[in-house]
Amino acid sequence: MPGLAGRMSTVIKSKISRLLDRAEDPGETLDYGYQKQVELLQNVKKGVADVVTSKKRLQMQTQKYEQQIVKLDTQARQALSQGREDLARAALERKAVIQGELQSLDTQVKELEAQQQALTENEKKLRTKVEAFRTKKEVIKAQYSAAEAQVQISEAAHGVGEQMADVGLAIQRAEDKTEQMKARAGAVEELEAAGTFEDLTALGEGQDDIDRELAQLGAGAQVDDELAKMKAEIGSGGGDAPALGEGKEGA
């Protein structure tokens, strides 16, 4: 099959051959094969555990984004109540960017969750196959000569090898995904750090590169709408103090 399935089959099959080629002495194939399987099964277990850890880290990142959103919202209200619409806009633009990131991170974490479940399922399958191989190996050892055993075991070894290669590929895909997400999360953090927002006055008069970048990314209808809404709220509230109500940490 030359198609997608063909390509997929070729990749997996070449992995299996490399896996199986390592057993050179036919007499040792059985035990060596099993020993190798057990060894690789450990790699797979560790790989699955790593994916789980990465996913947890990304989930923590989403919490951080949520906090940042609340904080920026509070800051925007503060700025507005002090008549600083420029600062309020800047805060809302940042908020919009982080909200966008949060959404995409959420989606990806969910995808990763599904991948993780499938991985765990497949690791279990692999364990069952390795165990079946062990049983088969003992039976073959007892019943066949070395040469005959070689033939008998080849199919079984390919069966285990295929599952092994497939789980390995799935782990790699999950890892690639977490790497991409980590890189993105890092970029957002950098944005946040570069335009530190701890103190509203730190934003100053002039726009820096980050502000311009954020404005390009986030400015638009969403920010305008939100600003108008906030203005109306603050306007109807009368004073400047009530605007601080929603935030947890006042500046």
Partner 1 sequence: MIVRISGEGQFKIPDQDGERLNELDNRAVSAVEQGDEAGFRELFHQMLELISADGNALPDDELVESDVIVPPRDISFEEAKGEFTGEGLIPD
133 binds partner 1 (CB under 8 A): yes
The token pair at 152 is: 């008998």
Q: How far is the CB of 6 from partner 1 (least distance, A)?
A: 7
Report the first-to-last Cα separation within the chain, whole angstroms. 64
* Helix 221-237 / helix 85-143 crossing angle, nearest 10 deg: 130
DSSP letters for 206-222: S--HHHHHHHHHH-SHH
Site string for partner 1, 42-61 (x = CB under 8 A): -xx--x--------------
143 binds partner 1 (CB under 8 A): no
Only one of the segments 16-24, 184-192, 203-211, 222-230 lies at the binding site for partner 1 (rule: CB under 8 A); that segment is 16-24
Residue 238's Cβ-count burial label (10 Å; 0-12, 13-18, 19+) is exposed
CA–CA–CA angle 35, 38, 44 (5° rounding): 145
> Considering only residues 40, 88, 200, 214, which one is a binding residue for partner 1 as defined by CB under 8 A?
40
Rounded to whole angstroms, the Cα distance separating 247 from 76 reads: 10
> Considering only residues 59, 99, 159, 242, which one is a binding residue for partner 1 as defined by CB under 8 A?
159
By CB under 8 A, how many residues form the interface with partner 1? Answer: 52
95 binds partner 1 (CB under 8 A): no
> Considering only residues 168, 197, 214, 218, which one is a binding residue for partner 1 as defined by CB under 8 A?
168
172 binds partner 1 (CB under 8 A): yes
Classify residue 25 by its DSSP letter: S
Backbone CA torsion sign across 67, 69, 71, 73:
negative
Q: How far is the CB of 112 from partner 1 (least distance, A)?
A: 10
* Contact footprint for partner 1 (CB under 8 A): 1-9, 11-13, 15-16, 18-19, 40, 43-44, 47, 111, 114-115, 118-119, 122, 124-125, 128-129, 131-133, 136, 155-160, 162, 164-173, 176
